[in-house]
Amino acid sequence: MAGERHSLPGVIGGDIMRHGKLALLLLAAVLVSAVLVVTTVHKTRLLTAQREQLMLEKNALDIEWRNLILEENALGDHSRVERIATEKLHMQHVDPSQEHIVVEP
């Protein structure tokens, strides 16, 4: 047996299979958990970026909603003035095509 030659990878593999099964199992568990941590962090960053984008869109829609409310109120005020002019002051709309110019002498 003194003249036998063994390859180093074969000797290491044999030792691991005989004496290091627990260490090999722990190494595999560490590698799997490391990959899962990296994947989770990546997904979390993507979701955080998506949330930020949605918050920006929400703020833009809130601003647009406020502007529409202001516009509605402004148009409502105009119709209110028109209604008061018609009901209380008995004013009427004038059709420009039927308007006659009266010149006083």
Tell me: the pLDDT tens digits for 33-74?
999 999 999 999 999 999 999 999 999 999 999 999 998 887
Q: What predicted TM-score, i.e. pTM, was given to this entire model? A: 0.52
User: Following DSSP, what letter does each residue of the chain receive, concatenated?
Assistant: -TT----HHHHHHHHHHHH-HHHHHHHHHHHHHHHHHHHHHHHHHHHHHHHHHHHHHHHHHHHHHHHHHHHHHHHHHHHHHHHHHHHTS------GGG-------
Asked if residue 103 has pLDDT above 80, the reply is: no
